[in-house]
Amino acid sequence: MQNNNYGDSSITILEGLEAVRKRPGMYIGSTDDRGLHHLVWEIVDNSIDEALAGYGKEITVIIGNDNSITVMDNGRGVPCGKHASGKNTLEVIYTVLHAGGKFGTGGYKTSGGLHGVGGSVVNALSSYMEVTSYRDGKIHRMIFENGGKKIGKLEILGDTKRTGTTVKFIPDGQIFSTTIFDYEKIKERIRENAYLIKDLKMNLIDKRTNKQESFVYERGISEYVEDIDKNKKPIHKVCYFEDQIDKIAVEVALQFVDTYDEKIISFVNNVHTKDGGTHELGFKIALTRAFNDFSRKYNLLKEKDPNLEGSDLRSGLTAIVSVRVEESILEFEGQTKGKLGTPLAKTIVDQITYEKLTEYLVNNKDLAQKIVDKAIVEYNARMAARKARTQARLDKKDKQEVNLSGKLSPAGEKNKEINELFLVEGDSAGGSAKKGRDRRFQAILPLRGKILNIEKTGQENALKNQEIATMIYTIGADYGSSFDLKKCNYKKIIIMTDADDDGAHIQVLLLTFFFRYMRPLIEDGRVYVALPPLFKIVKRGKKEETIYAWTNEEKEKILKNAPANTIVQRYKGLGEMNADQLWDTTMNPETRNLIRVNIEDLSDAEKQIDILMGDDAARRRNWLESNVSFTLEDEQGE
Ligand code: 0RA
């Protein structure tokens, strides 16, 4: 997949840098925190491409005190000779859009990236950029300022024995809403790259804190799977295989653990495809077929038994599917381009997975038997649950309106388009909510204590749990693969908990539940978290006035202009509010602060969900803060 026949002349020139500064979003997605970090990925991707082409094994990223990023590699060095345009090639690569060997014909482009436009885009959006190329025994350097305006010519600084490229840039504060780089974010991405490219050493240094870490994985994605499963009980050693057919190379590592959830994380050209795509599909199809064919052949299934279903077989599976697709046939789909579209990827991943996995199963028959048994248990549980639901529906018809739990206070009118369901922590807050609500369109379901941690239990147990069964029944749209958003009884499902650690735990548990069993609810933006105020402030005077504050700053602001005898009460829980207060502050659509849950990157969240389910409250809070982004209800422009 690599091609060496380009040096200084096969680089095509298309467009100037002003376009990038005018419409940064078109090139890097956004100018917020996400876009800012995209700059880092672009520069790192260039070095990774060089490593993948077989040059250089170590990449170092430095976050500077001056808000800069420096990326160093030990590849061949950016070419510095004369380009067909008359300029030197280094200048062309970093000042002309779409320039770089990656574009046009004959070049490699292995890292996908959102737009993959590389160094010139970063230069356009930087207030400072310095490119140093160690090549042909010399140190070459060029400096740019103010969005890619060159300061002087290409200089030769001296002699060197090494080769490689160092790029330093400072993001332009006029373009980005924030220019503070996030160590953890960069670390995660760098670590992911190290897993995906065996033996590539990735270093990260933060000069602001003097933190420093290195990642290198001799066994690549096999170690990735082991690390994801490290707090679980695997039932076998990781199964790894790789192969290449035509323009597509496939690498897979998989392992079954003794729990029930499924994690498939897929990559195309080292970029995470968060919405899956043809490669993931091919993998799933092959896995189902391999297990079924094997089961028939070795009589693990009787003749009259139906085939095992994919979702049952994948129970407890952790897998990394990493493919490299040649640029000529690379297609992405979806709004954020997070889904591989290349049709050939399905066929080829299917073919390779089927062949290699069958071989593995034949060589590990006892393990195959265990996995098939597990799938049969899952299948039976699903059937039993389906039967129970049908029975419940029949019972309901018999007895007219019956609430499974008897706890739901339904909305007065049945209107799926406007009705809201409040899931309320505790019976006492549930009581106030029932009294305070607008009963025409608001339904209340109090949840007693902690809901079941569905990560620690199988589907069978999850569905036996009263709170969960009640939620599924109340929402009315089934669950799992049978979930049907059209049947959902509510426009908004609002989690209302105390603003403390227990409350955060309940939020995580509920979000995990929705994530696992009713994912389209989250994707459709129907899941919300209510934000109760932290303070009640009563201003005494001729007329008493009550004001609520949601943050410390808000409270201080209010107190600045308040008389001395003003009373401040800190709410510790929802239970301290009476029905009217709860309505005024937290439930009334006119005055409440409701936030919509967007799990930005579902499979990233997935990687961490198991970590969260322990007893560490601070970690849960962190998870909520970094994986779940919140949009204020009235900012949604509905
Ligand atoms: C174009 C051609 C060649 C190397 C590179 C670009 C290159 C770019 C970057 C960016 C960061 N690190 C890099 N390393 C290499 C190959 C030229 C040749 O044939 O030697």
Give the domain ranges of the chain. 8-215, 221-379, 395-533+578-637, 535-570
Residues 6 or more apart in contact with residue 527 via CB below 8 angstroms: 493, 495, 511, 514, 521, 596, 597
**Is-catalytic flag, 500?**
yes
Among 41, 70, 76, the mutation site with the greatest number of ligand 1 atoms within 8 A of its Cβ is: 76
Most confident of 2-6, 288-292, 470-474: 288-292
Catalytic member of 500, 501, 545, 580:
500
Give pLDDT, residue 200.
Answer: 97
Residue type, 256: F
Please tell me the residue having the least CA distance from ligand 1 atom 7. 78
Strands (E), 392-526: 420-425, 442-447, 492-496
- Residue 339: band (very low, low, confident or very high) from pLDDT cuts 50, 70, 90: very high
Q: What's the Rg (C-alpha) of the chain?
A: 28
**Is-catalytic flag, 438?**
no
Q: Which residue has the tokens 């376009």?
A: 19
Please tell me the residue having the least CA distance from ligand 1 atom 4. 78
Cα–ligand 1 centroid distance for 117 (angstroms): 15
Give pLDDT, residue 395.
Answer: 60
Closest-lying ligand 1 atom to the alpha carbon of residue 165: 12
Cα–ligand 1 centroid distance for 6 (angstroms): 10
- Residues 492 and 272: their CA atoms lie apart, in Å, by 30
Give pLDDT, residue 252.
Answer: 98
CATH top class, domain 221-379: alpha beta
CATH top class, domain 395-533+578-637: alpha beta
Cα–ligand 1 centroid distance for 591 (angstroms): 57
- Residue 636: band (very low, low, confident or very high) from pLDDT cuts 50, 70, 90: very low
Please tell me the residue having the least CA distance from ligand 1 atom 8. 78
φ, ψ dihedrals at 271, nearest 5° = -110, 130
Among 46, 69, 73, 133, the mutation site with the greatest number of ligand 1 atoms within 8 A of its Cβ is: 46
246 by Cβ neighbours in 10 Å (0-12 / 13-18 / 19+) ranks as exposed
Which residues form ligand 1's pocket by a CB distance below 6 Å?
A: 7, 46-47, 50, 73, 75-76, 78-79, 101, 165
Q: Which residue has the tokens 């590389």?
A: 118
Residues 6 or more apart in contact with residue 322 via CB below 8 angstroms: 196, 221, 250, 251, 252, 266, 267, 270
211-265: pLDDT as tens digits = 999 999 999 999 999 999 998 899 999 999 999 999 999 999 999 998 878 899 9
Among 50, 73, 131, the mutation site with the greatest number of ligand 1 atoms within 8 A of its Cβ is: 50
Give pLDDT, residue 102.
Answer: 42
CB atoms within 10 A of CB 553: 9
pLDDT above 60 (res 110)? no
85-94: pLDDT as tens digits = 889 999 999 9
Give pLDDT, residue 10.
Answer: 45
Q: What is the overall mean pLDDT for the chain?
A: 85
Catalytic member of 172, 192, 229, 425:
425
pLDDT above 60 (res 374)? yes
pLDDT above 70 (res 428)? yes
Query: Cα angle vertex 267, ends 282, 38, to 5°?
Result: 150
Give pLDDT, residue 334.
Answer: 77
pLDDT above 90 (res 293)? yes
Q: Please tell me the CATH superfamily of domain 8-215, with its number.
A: Histidine kinase-like ATPase, C-terminal domain (3.30.565.10)
Residue type, 503: G
pLDDT above 90: percentage of residues in the chain: 53
Give pLDDT, residue 638.
Answer: 35
536-559: pLDDT as tens digits = 898 887 788 888 888 888 889 888
- Residue 604: band (very low, low, confident or very high) from pLDDT cuts 50, 70, 90: low
- Residue 456: band (very low, low, confident or very high) from pLDDT cuts 50, 70, 90: low
Cα–ligand 1 centroid distance for 379 (angstroms): 53
Catalytic member of 498, 584, 606, 633:
498
52-94: pLDDT as tens digits = 889 999 999 999 999 999 999 999 999 999 988 889 999 999 9
Catalytic member of 226, 242, 331, 502:
502
Give pLDDT, residue 632.
Answer: 54
Closest-lying ligand 1 atom to the alpha carbon of residue 75: 14
489-530: pLDDT as tens digits = 999 999 998 877 778 778 888 888 888 889 889 888 899 988
**Is-catalytic flag, 601?**
no
